[in-house]
Structures are given as structure tokens and as C-alpha cells.
Amino acid sequence: MKTRIKRIVFAASALLLLGVAAVFAQPKGDTVTVKGEVVDLWCYLEGGDHGAEHKKCGTACAKAGNPIGLLTEKGEIYVMMGIKDHQPGKDVLIEKMSETVTVEGTLVKKGGTQVIYVSTVK
């Protein structure tokens, strides 16, 4: 009986620690909603490539591991990341390459870089 109680207490403690760790792993910043075109950052920053005619290339580049960004009408660029720990932006946006979308997520700015950890895409 004591062994069973010890196991239950241990399991409950482990779950509590995992829950606390998950809370602290979330990015810290303001929740934002931003509208823009999903772009492959390599091609966009290298040559300004974007738009419907660049969809096939942008998708291939993102599948190869290049980061995905969001280009706003004002010309602002946001690097896209998934909200899950270590989730690349391609996991949530590759199917929307070259399309105009509205993303909601957590904005983090550091050293001139703007990242949105995406929670929803419309």
C-alpha cells in the first residue's frame, strides 16, 4: 500500500513539474494580430522574391529548411515560429506560402529582430 501511495505522489509531482516547465517555456511578449504575405525569407531578403509567381520556389526553400516570414503592406518583416517549443514556422505556415494571411501570436523583439510565435492563422 505504501509503495502505491509513493508511486501516486511521485507521478503527481512529475506532472506538476512538467506543467510548470510548460508555462515557463512559452514566449514572453505582447499578443498581436498581423496581416501579411507568407514569404520564404532566404529568397525575399536575397532578391525581393515574393508573390504568387514565387509560391513553388518559396515552398521548396521552406521545405529545405529556410525560415518563413510575414511581409506586411508597410514592408515590415516578421520571422514566424510555431507556438510549441522549438517549432519552426513552416509547421504552421508552409501551406499558405505566398498567400495573404492574418496571424495571431506572441510578438518578441530582440536586437532588431521581430518574431511572432504563431498561435492561429486565418
pLDDT digits (tens, 9 = 90+) for 103-118: 999 999 999 999 999 9
CA angle, residues 85, 91, 92, in degrees to nearest 5: 95
Q: The pTM is what?
A: 0.76
- 53-81 residue pLDDT tens: 999 999 999 999 999 999 999 999 999 99
Q: Give the pLDDT band of residue 28 (cuts 50, 70, 90).
A: confident
* Strand runs labelled E in the chain: 30-40, 68-71, 77-82, 100-110, 113-121
Taking CA 54 as the corner, what is the angle to CA 109 and CA 96, rounded to the nearest 5 degrees? 60
**19 has pLDDT over 80:** no
* Domain boundaries defined on the chain: 28-121
> Using CA atoms, how far apart are residues 115 and 2, in angstroms rounded to an integer?
50
Output b/e per residue, 60-79; b: 16+ Cβ within 10 A. Answer: ebbeeebbbbbbeeeeebbb
* Burial readout 15-37 (b: 16 or more C-beta within 10 A, e: otherwise): eeeeeeeeeeeeeebeeeebebb
- Pick from 97, 98, 40: nearest CA to 65: 40
